[in-house]
Structure 1
């Protein structure tokens, strides 16, 4: 049984080593599974770095949102590696491509509304437009299963939400403790963390916002450790020690 990593420097070192190993494997075995895992691991490491930059600067805004995102990445990796990995990874790829195509066409068809946000003219945007065929993408997406997946992880029609996905992986407790708790920041329900209301004076004022008593670093290390463990086990990678 492998030892759990306890420091952020160790988990980053092992994480990047694992990512480099995946990239080397991808040179010989080009498939959707390795591509998806490489992307999800790289994204997880980047999110974690950003989170620790904020922690080091004693800044709290965004921490809980990033922890929620990191939890999603972990769940996606566990789901892909559970079984039927190539098809599940392909579903993720197709889902991303379909969404990119939809957004691209929305901007193109409503250029006057969006041009103020884009630092290019319409011709410049058209030149950047991806060569995607939405009809073909949806056709391939539908062929993956005997139904059109509501979400890319909806291999079972009853798996309609992220909670259903977590429950299928026996991660419903983590969902309630991490995902739901840390969703408050995303949905702008943390006003009282930053404001003080004095009813007797009928005044609202800003208050100093301090780090909450949440073990951010422990949670990040735990999530990254689990991600690396899943990938290492899948590709039979030996133990990686920091020298």
Structure 2
């Protein structure tokens, strides 16, 4: 069965799937991703030694994944949904900048240990090898959804073993103690963000201010948050027409496609520059040569 959509709500792509403007923006972002994959592969093959390397490489890969998804949405002219990913990309920019600006190894370990430790803390609530986990699953079973959920992620795994080894040996004890210290102030609150450890910024806004990126936070990030939280979606869904009547915005709205593509490219180039300078300085000349070519071919937002 093949159902045709209501074209007032889901219009056809102007010019079809090969709309020149959408294709141009797809290529703008994709070229950054493509170059980034080569940088990622080189780093993984030559620099991946020690736990302190895991966080920046994982975050860099995450940024490429986000940009690749944004590029594909831009190809379809869907700028509103892309803002959700762009918001996360901005957070990744802040995380990498905060790691690279100083104390890189320590902050990388802060991120890694925090991520592993909080994963175990949260998943242990539903670990079926424990009495607490069984009791918590019994509560959820009453809602009737459990049978459709993959619970394998909550089972005892090598991550548990790794954290238990840290606790037994005292490895990374200072970071674990800091996580517990912050959690101890309010046991019912969510786990603290990793960047708050050791008197770091308390909120994402403070983090942006610390890194001199408050402009992006205030002008864009707060607006993009409306695309994430369903409660704020009404402002981007309805509008008044020239007769004063309410109209519904169509799906795959491309009105902000220029803003989305420009910010994605800016963030992507920023991440490439920071990552290469911090981890692969031998690649700077190659990066500059690539960037010179990229500017000539792709850095125009007037197409």
TMscore range, shorter length: 0.7 to 0.9
1:151 aligns with 2:193: yes
Name the CA shift for 1:180/1:101 in 2 (closer, same or farther; >3 Å).
Answer: same
In the alignment, structure 2 segments of 5+ residues that lack a partner are 1-26, 128-132, 184-191, 294-303
1 or 2, which has the higher helix percentage? 2
Give, in whole Å, the separation in 1 of the partners of 2:36 and 2:206: 28
Q: Structure 1 residue aligned with 2:76, among 51, 57, 81?
A: 57
Higher deviation after alignment, 18-27 or 207-216? 207-216
Distance 1:197 1:111 in 2: 48
Figure out how many residues of one structure are paired with residues of the other and give that number. 231
Partner Cα distance (1:116, 1:196) in 2:
42
Question: 1:238: which partner in 2?
Answer: 284
Contact 1:80 1:88 in 2 (8 A): yes
Separation in structure 2 between the aligned mates of residue 180 and residue 86 of structure 1, nearest angstrom: 30
248, 255, 259: which one pairs with 1:212? Answer: 255
Deviation at 1:208, TM superposition (A): 1.9
Q: How does 1:96-107 map to 2 (within 5 A)?
A: 96-107=115-126
Quick check: 1:167 aligned with 2:187?
no
In 2 relative to 1, CA 104–142 (structure 1 residues): closer, same or farther, beyond 3 Å?
Answer: closer
Asked if the contact 1:44/1:70 (under 8 Å) is kept, the reply is: yes
Q: TM-score, normalised by structure 1?
A: 0.80
Aligned partners of 2:200 and 2:65: how far apart in 1? Answer: 33
Which residue of the other structure, out of 124, 149, 155, is the alignment partner of 1:118? 149
- Relative to structure 1, is the Cα distance of residues 169 and 126 closer, same or farther in structure 2, using a 3 angstrom cutoff? closer
Counterpart selection for 1:43 from 62, 72, 76: 62
Kindly tell me: are residues 85 and 225 of structure 1, through their superposed partners in 2, closer, same or farther at Cα, counting changes over 3 Å?
A: same
Q: Does the 8 Å contact 1:142/1:148 carry over to 2?
A: no
CA distance in 1, matches of 2:159, 2:98: 29
In structure 1, runs of 5+ residues without a counterpart are 1-5
Which residue, 77, 83, 90 being the options, matches 1:71?
90
SS of 1:219's equivalent in the other structure is helix
My pick for the range that moved more, 91-100 or 189-198, is: 189-198
TM-score of the aligned structures, taking structure 2 as reference length: 0.65
Q: 2:44 aligns with which of 23, 30, 40?
A: 23
Q: 2:103 aligns with which of 79, 84, 94?
A: 84
